[in-house]
Amino acid sequence: MDLSRFNLITIATPLVLGAGVLLVMLVDLLSGRANRRPAQLAALAVVLAAAAVCLATWNTGGVSFFGQVSGDGFASFFNLIFLAVAFLVILAGPAYLERNAIHFGEYYSLVLVSVMGMAFMAAGTNLLVIFLGLETMSLALYVLAGFNPARQSSNEASLKYLLLGSFATGFLVFGIALVYGQIGSTDLARFSAYLAGAGDPFAGYMGAGVALLLIGLTFKMAVVPFHFWSPDVYDGAPTVVSAFMSAAPKAAAFAAALRIFYAPAESLGLPWERILWILAALTMTVGNLSALNQASIKRMLAYSSVAHAGYLLLGILAGNELGAAGILFYLASYVFMNVGAFTVAWMVNRRGEGRYDLGDFAQLGFRRPLLAAMMSVFMLGLIGIPPLAGFFGKLYVFTAAVQAGYVWLVVIAVLNSAVSVFYYLRVMVIMYMRENEALKDVDRIPATFAAVAACALMVILLGLIPGSVLDVARAAVASMP
Amino acid sequence: MDLLHLLNQGLFWFFVVMTVVSAIVVVFSQRVIYSAFALLFTFFGVAALYLFLAADFLAASQVLIYVGGILTLIIFGVFLTAKIYTMDIPQQTHQRYLALLPVVAMLGLLTYGLFTADWKTVTPAAEPTTKDLGQLLLTTYLVPFEVASVLLLAALIGAVRLARPMQEEDRD
């Protein structure tokens, strides 16, 4: 048997994560009932090891395992994003989990399993692998959303996400089955070859298949009209989990969408463009308008992440190299802003888990100037103010869309960004201008503070060297088979 | 020969009607328990249709997993629920008209596919499919096969977490 067909380098990063899951469970088992610290340290070590492996095997994999996975630069780039998010939520998490008396070792193993699923979504060159990766990711997220069984809203979030998520998965699998029925394969290379050669790309079951694939993936991205779950789930889930959920799975869903649709985008033609155009415009507008008058910071950030999915769709719609590389850059900066903002939100929450009021931020600028400054970095980054990473993400994606001829859609996107200024700046206004409401002081939690500082640093750093990061992203996109 | 063909056709249509009718009962029945029992027939009918497609392994696993699983679920449901026959478990349909939109769109797409698809026909091999499936699982589909096992591991960890009590009692 030809063993070169089983090139383990291509799946080295998820393999380390898989072994890490078992290791973390074992460490947690051995370290006594009350002590979760060893499990956390083990999980951090696993993430660092996986990141080291990811960097060492950067773009060396190529397609292997009979065309099922590709360990190219694209997979490596996304793996690094997922691992960064995992590292941050594992570092920041314990304080939150302790506060709510839900500090269990399963938190760490579930986060790692979820990231492993994402790694397969980014590396899969076969619809089956992408589907199984998505399911592995989602299953862990369903449990993490319900990680606080004492709170009704956490249970509700978990159940809602499970029911709607399984439904969306059903659509995805049905789509895969129909595509298989049409071309007799689930291989993505065959998929794009078929579409390139077909006169009518939507003949037979291809139309229904592609539509269902799109529904399955856009559900995970929280694209309107499949976004109804996201505010309730982000709001009800434990906030550390919301931070994780709003960042990494969205990146993974876009990775899978690029894997499937980037190569054949051109041959999909007009109906495809129209559908994506409408979805992008709807998502941006509904997300931003709904975020405008949210009293809860968690719901506001949830709707803001819906809006960002809309901006990101522009990159998919553009279908050119800059669009795809722009999405990679955008996601690399977006995850840090979102994880940071959600983490600050639970740090300053002083009214208990049930209420995440914007009023919690009152006077933060004077009581905790550094924390407030970092929150301002996240808010300004989410708006897309020039020196920060968020600006360049938007710039690349919007430029790509203009190059592809979608001027009106970019006009809508820019107008939407202007609307979003209102609710992001409101947080800053409250931090620096609202009167003190005699609230409890914010706890000082060194590890969590370090995680937030790392996020802020990345948002600033990516804004300082956007060109070289974009070059890496371009190379990553070009390395896709 | 003709009689055999007729029997074959008769059996096929019998299973088709059984599957569709029981599926309709699943959707429209007002009682959960009737729906669950009807679902049993739907799954069994689908398993029979797999046999007509010469997919013996698929049919067997359909019976094992779905028919077996659903049966167990119903028995447990009856065990654990007092007065299950008289209890009124609400099972209504909401947003009927809004739901019509995606349903009609889906039906349209599938019907369009039905008439335009390039149907491939293969002559079924006389031997069982299990050998080929087994080889594929350990060669071409090795990675999906292994990822599926990680998926099950994630499900196990999650189930254990959710089933355990909130405050862990000290056992020393």
- Give residue A195's pLDDT band: very low, low, confident or very high (50, 70, 90): confident
Is the same domain home to B18 and B73? Answer: yes
Q: Which amino acid is at B91?
A: Q
Calculate what percentage of chain B has a pLDDT beyond 90: 28
CA atoms of A365 and A221, how far apart (whole Å): 33
pLDDT at A267: 81
Find tokens 């065990």 and name the residue. Answer: B79
Q: Do residue B158 and residue A139 have CB atoms under 8 angstroms apart?
A: yes
Mean pLDDT estimate for chain A: 91
A229 or B119, higher pLDDT: A229
| pLDDT above 90 for A133 | yes
Determine, yes or no, domain membership for B115: no
Whether B93 and chain A come into contact, CB under 8 Å, resolves to no
| Pick from B34, B53, B58: nearest CA to B119 | B53
H/E element, A70: strand A69-70
Calculate what percentage of chain A has a pLDDT beyond 90: 71
* Interfacial B residues in 10-69 facing A (CB < 8 Å): none
The contacts found for A106-109 with CB under 8 angstroms, 24 or more apart, are: A106/A143, A106/B157, A106/B158, A106/B160, A106/B161, A107/A144, A107/A147, A108/A24, A108/A28, A108/A39, A108/A40, A108/A42, A108/A43, A109/A21, A109/A24, A109/A25, A109/A28, A109/A43, A109/B157
Determine, yes or no, domain membership for B113: no
Whether A183 and chain B come into contact, CB under 8 Å, resolves to no
Best mutation target among A5, A16, A143 (most B Cβ atoms within 10 Å) is A143
CA atoms of A183 and A413, how far apart (whole Å): 37
Which of A107-116, A323-332, B60-69 is the least confident region?
B60-69
Find tokens 């409250």 and name the residue. Answer: A430
- Give residue A214's pLDDT band: very low, low, confident or very high (50, 70, 90): very high
- Give residue A88's pLDDT band: very low, low, confident or very high (50, 70, 90): very high
Two tokens, residue A399: 């430029």
| Pick from A227, A115, A214: nearest CA to A164 | A227
Give the end of a domain, one of B32, B61, B83: B83
Query: Domain segments of chain A: what residues?
Result: 7-478
Q: Which amino acid is at A411?
A: V
Tally of domains within chain B = 2
| pLDDT above 60 for A1 | no
Domain that holds residue B150: 126-166
| Pick from A421, A377, A375, A413: nearest CA to A395 | A413
Which of A91-105, A399-413, B124-138 is the least confident region?
B124-138
| pLDDT above 90 for A201 | no
| pLDDT above 90 for B39 | no
pLDDT in tens, A157-182: 999 999 999 999 999 999 999 999 88
Instruction: Give every CB contact of residue A172 below 8 A, 6+ residues apart in sequence.
Output: A131, A134, A212, A213, A215, A216, A217
- Kindly state the greatest CA–CA separation across chain A: 73
pLDDT at B171: 41
- Give residue A132's pLDDT band: very low, low, confident or very high (50, 70, 90): very high
pLDDT at A351: 74
Q: Do residue B139 and residue A143 have CB atoms under 8 angstroms apart?
A: no
pLDDT at A354: 73
Give the end of a domain, one of B29, B55, B83: B83
Two tokens, residue A80: 């690094």
Q: Do residue B113 and residue A142 have CB atoms under 8 angstroms apart?
A: no
Calculate what percentage of chain A has a pLDDT beyond 70: 98
Is the same domain home to B14 and B74? Answer: yes
- Closest in A113, A114, A128 to B153, CB measured: A113
Determine, yes or no, domain membership for B106: no
Round the CA-based radius of gyration of chain A to a whole number and report it: 21
- Give residue B88's pLDDT band: very low, low, confident or very high (50, 70, 90): low
pLDDT in tens, A239-269: 999 999 999 999 999 999 999 999 888 788 8
| pLDDT above 80 for A292 | yes
CB atoms within 10 A of CB B159: 12
| pLDDT above 50 for B4 | yes
CATH code: domain of residue B77: 1.20.120.1200
Let me know: does A198 contact A234? Beta carbons within 8 Å. no
pLDDT at B169: 45
CB atoms within 10 A of CB A151: 18
Most confident option among A93-102, A118-127, A198-207, B105-114: A118-127
